[in-house]
Structure 1
Amino acid sequence: MSTNNSETITLSDADVEKNAQAPALPKDESTAANDFPADKYQVKLEPEDDPKCLSLWHKWLAVLTISSSSLCATFASSEAAFTETGLARDLHTTHEVAILSISLYVLGLGIGPMFVGPLSELYGRNIIYRTSYVLFFAFTWPTAFPPHIAVFLVFRFITGLCGAAFLSVAGGSVSDLFDNAHVATPMAVYTISPFIGPVVGPLIAGFIVQNTDWKWCFRVLLIWQFVQIILLFTCVPETYVPVILKRKARKLRKTTGDDRYFAPLEHQQHNLFHMILFSCSTPFKLLMFDRMALSLDIWSALLLGILYLAFQAFPIIFEDVHGFNVQQTGLSFLGIGTGMVAALATQPYWNSRFRREAKKHNGHPPPEIRLIIGQVGGILAPIGLFIMAFTTYKNVHWIAPIIGSIPFGAGVYYIYTGVFTYLVTAYRPIAASAMAANSAMRSTFAAVFPLFAGAMYHRLGTVGATALLAGLTTLMAPLPFIFYREGAKLRSKSRFAVQ
């Protein structure tokens, strides 16, 4: 399930997803194929079966399909921000209740991975993708044609649960398709897609709401989901090797009539209830008993909370202060997206930097090395927020806060890259649980922050409220520097971290 430390440092995103794609299991439930005794009837992975041996164009087609599916799932979370006025008007509710359409969806995205992970270990990746996306598509219909607010909110939560597969399983497919020497670039493309999605949502929704009915936001989402379903069924092969071997064994038994052929997965004892229980309980134990993981989880959760709070704050900043219309306010999110893409473009530098660090430690660098990129993000994020805070005055040109959002977007990317990879490498035995704990914490903050954004901005003003957020990120900024220096000592006292 995991790679050695040298590969971890060199290929950060790959290691994150390899370790986080499914919940960690007890030893007797995660036996690898090579733990079984040699048997001539045990099927082996041949080149024609190996997903890494697919043509390059086919592998990239699968990666882009998976990435666009992930982007669509997170796009659906934020597009609702610009439908709240119409939703409140047409379904006869208040604006505060309408904000729940974001919160409930994000909550579903956070809870879903704890249940999807165990299922993917038993049945493979493709059936999870296809089933979840068909359900995602089906349950979006009541939100596109809602009879009343209760139905709308219930199905927003359910669609969040269905979309969660692409935040917990999809990265594993990318690492299945490429070897360690070539996985960094496709993994970086996949990794940024869930973070670009929330930025694209307001941009597209702004155009739709400005020019037509708000319900068309969800109808456009239905069209996109339908296209993604076709692509998932036609362009993405099964990449999970244990399931590939299981299918191969079944085919050999059928064609040869010899029932002695078997795959390792068929000889493992699985208790789905126990797997889900383990998947759900371990992340909470980690949060309760490990201060290092809790601190980093709160830091990354604060950032996602601020990102989702922006969906309520930007209309106040740009519509109320600068007189933007809905369409123009959606475009104001381009600053955050530009920062993220610019940060992604620097990934080759970081890959080479970590290769050099790995050589200094004879190929076995400590997990704290991964926090170097987080240190840069820890500085950029509050700088961007402070620039935004003190440029939101009416007499300051509107481009200034958008420029300030660029370093914030870059900081978010760097922080998540550093924190995710550190959690995977420092908590290798329970890497998936460490990522699940982070996901649950992030989703909780992202669900709650939009609920008080309006009240906070109206009470403190655009300058005071944004400066408060900048101050909170400043308080958290020393974390990667502290853990970089003291991480080894703290890990030695942890019941979960590697020593």
Structure 2
Amino acid sequence: MVPALIRDAFVGDVLYHLSRHRLFQHREDRQDFTIPTPPRSVGSIKSGSSSRSILEITTVAEPERPVDEESQLPRVDSEQVTIAICEPSEEQRPARQKILEVEEGDLAKQKEKAPVLQEITESRIVEWYGPNDPEDPQNWSIVKKSFITFQICLLTFSVYIGSAIYSPGIGGISDQFGVSSVAATLGLTLFVVGYGVGPMFLSPLSELPQIGRTTVYILSLALFVVLQVPTALAKNLGALLPLRFVAGFAGSPALATGGASLSDIWAPEYRAVVIGLWSVAGVGGPVLGPLVGGFATQGEDWTWTIWILLWMSGATLIFLMLFLPETSASALLYRRAARLRRITGNKRLKSEGEIEVEHMTVGDIAMMHLVRPFILMFIEPIVAFWNIYVALVYGILYIFIESFRVVFVETHGFNLGENGLAFLGIFVGSALTYAVYAPYALRVLKPHFVNNTFVPEMRLPIAIVGSVLLPISMFWFGWTSDAIVHWSVPIVASALFAAGTYMLFQAGVNYLADCYPRYVASVLAGNDFFRSMVGAAFPLFSTVFFHNLGVGPACSLLGGVAVLMLPIPWILYRYGARIRSWSKYAD
């Protein structure tokens, strides 16, 4: 036996199957394994990342289990029936809706109309072996959860840095390929577009029990790593730009699904803290990218920004292949069901997620991940306003990255490496804000989760503070960027900008998830898509924008827009519950 952390990682799972289940064995593979008797209580069952209410449960007497004469392993009687129909997630809803429509006393008639119900009724549902099952991600140790959190943060950082690490090399690309700086900037823009579009197609794969999150992470990151080689060797812009787009597309699952992985293992009262830490890693990528890329370009040329990205993401890939376990409860239960089918010969042993996905149509999946995000984006006021607000903040972040060249290189005479150091103000501001936010989340928000008194609007007080800090930082940065003012003053302003944006991101994304728990995948996918499209567009005009208007007036214009957006968090804090009551999607 090996540690479950390694056994459930990508390499461990592959070796398990290649060795025909002789290496990296699970508890079901042991000769002395006996299938535990499932719980027989009506109330709530703990499964995966949440406690789900049982809507209906029917059991039969548990007969003595016979033993298979050939394998000497326990068998499960194929006629045993256990129905545990739980409150569905968005991914389960199309299949579950058929189940919930069944009326008491009319089961036989409805079986003909609802194949999924018939299959669940005739199958033995594979669940956790009780509330303390050590393979349930919610029951993992704090050390293991913390190590996995670190890996998700590392993965996010390794991909996110790929956007801004490119920016110091724009001048070199422009000179080498004989194109304008705007055309060279497309390499940054298309990368951001790629990781905005990618989650719409790749993230749904991580919800399939047959695939799981880790497989999607590893395979997409492997493609991301491979793509860096032809990118660094590209001989013209026509070859470079498509490679940058595909690389952003391939790297996108971690950026959209990392929060879901953390939710798999942490209880709701702790998620604000761990997802806040994950957000610091997300900010660190685009902020520290110019620092690394600046020294690389200054020491060698623009291709070294890509080579460094290759080395960093390649090392992360190897590390995660060895040590990142699967966290999706649906995928882990599917694998358990597959093992039980193999050792017992009972083909009716299936996990809930497996049955539900089998009965989802292509139309169900398309509606869930391609159509519904846009429906919610345009008809839900809460979603629409927060998408616009967060997209504005995201766009300003990327325009900030480009403005540093004008302020610190052209005005203060920094070289590319020193210009990268100026970005440390944003990173330090984010880290310090998290240091304040984490205790706030534990002291103020956690008790409401524990006592079941939490409402989504409790997320918004920090957004109100952040909405005030954002325009202040923009005016401060813009009007202190002249050469007569010491360079440290605008850097302090950038730290204040980081604090405001961090608060807005944390409050906004969590508020959307809280308001639309049934459609959280669609809402967050649409938010990611919308803000990425805006963030991708801003760098294209940033240099001209600051040159033509001047840094002070340009930042004042952005600050003025931020001032106009100030009422949004306050209005939602005051009237959000009423607005949600009008919606057929919000809870």
Aligned residues: 478
User: In 2 relative to 1, CA 273–213 (structure 1 residues): closer, same or farther, beyond 3 Å?
Assistant: farther
1:145/1:355 CA distance change after superposition, 3 Å:
same
The answer to which of 489-498 and 471-480 deviates more is 489-498
2:308 pairs with 1:308: no
Instruction: Answer yes or no: is 1:113 the counterpart of 2:199.
Output: yes
Paired-residue identity, %:
32
Q: Which residue does the alignment assign to 1:93? A: 179
1:343 to 433, 437, 452: 433
Q: Which residue pairs with 1:466 in the alignment?
A: 555
Indicate whether 1:353 and 2:444 are aligned.
yes
Counterpart of 2:138 in structure 1 is 52
CA 1:205–1:273: 2 relative to 1, 3 Å: farther
Find the partner of 2:463 among 341, 355, 374: 374
- Displacement of 1:251: 1.4
Checking the alignment, whether the CA contact within 8 Å between 2:272 and 2:441 is kept in structure 1 is no
Classify the secondary structure of the residue corresponding to 1:169: helix
Counterpart in the other structure of 1:388: 477
Q: Residues 145-187 of structure 1, C-alpha deviation per residue, up to 9 Å, x if partnerless?
A: 1121111100111011111100222222222223345544433
Q: Deviations over 1:73-132 (max 9, x none)?
A: 110011111110111112222211111111111111111111122211112111101111
1:156-175 equivalent positions in 2, closer than 5 A: 156-175=244-263
- Tell me, yes or no, if the aligned pair for 1:84 and 1:98 is still in contact at 8 Å: yes
Aligned equivalents of 2:124, 2:447: Cα separation in 1 = 44
Q: Which residue of 2 aligns with 1:332?
A: 422
User: How high is the TM-score relative to the length of structure 1?
Assistant: 0.90
2-side partners of 1:355 and 1:249: how far apart?
35
Letter in 2 for 1:99: T
Partner residue, 2:504? 415
What is the match of residue 27 of structure 1? 93
Q: Is it true that 1:236 corresponds to 2:324 in the alignment?
A: yes
Match of 2:35 in 1: none
Show the counterpart of 1:13.
none
- Aligned residue type for 1:351: L
In structure 2, C-alpha distance between the alignment counterparts of 1:344 and 1:209, rounded to whole Å: 31
Separation in 1, partners of 2:457, 2:49: 17
Amino acid at match of 1:42: I
Structure 1, unpaired ranges of 5+? 5-22
The aligned amino acid for 2:349 is Y
**TM-score after normalising by structure 2:** 0.77
Q: Is the 8 A contact 1:87 1:98 kept in 2?
A: yes
The structure carrying a bigger helix percent of its residues is 1
Shift of 1:31: 7.8
Paired residue for 2:379, among 289, 294, 301?
A: 289
Hey, what's the Cα distance between the residues in 1 that align with 2:383 and 2:431? 27
Q: Which moved more, 1:211-220 or 1:43-52?
A: 43-52
2:188 aligned with 1:102: yes
Q: Which runs of 5+ in 2 are unaligned?
A: 1-47, 52-88, 101-115
- Which residue among 242, 249, 268 is the counterpart of 1:154? 242
SS for the counterpart of 1:191 is helix
Distance across 1 between alignment mates of 2:386 and 2:435: 24
Task: For 1:45, give the aligned amino acid.
Answer: W
Farther-moved stretch of structure 1 (405-414 vs 52-61): 52-61
With over 3 angstroms needed to count, the CA separation of the structure-2 counterparts of 1:3 and 1:58, relative to structure 1, is closer
How far does the alpha carbon of each residue in 1:203-239 deviate from its partner, in whole angstroms, 9 at most, with x for none? 1111111111210110011111111111111111111
1:456 match: 545
Q: Give the match for residue 214 of structure 2.
A: 126
Q: What secondary structure, in the 3-state scheme, does the structure 2 residue paired with 1:42 have?
A: strand
Q: Among 42, 50, 65, which residue is 2:125 paired with?
A: 42
**In structure 1, distance between residues paired with 2:505 and 2:318:** 31
Match of 1:444 among 533, 540, 547: 533
CA separation in 2, counterparts of 1:84 and 1:394?
Answer: 24
Counterpart CA distance in 1 for 2:530 and 2:522 is: 12
If asked which structure has higher relative contact order (CA below 8 Å, sep 6+), I would say 1
Equivalent pair of 2:468/2:566 in contact (CA under 8 Å)? yes
Amino acid at match of 2:126: V
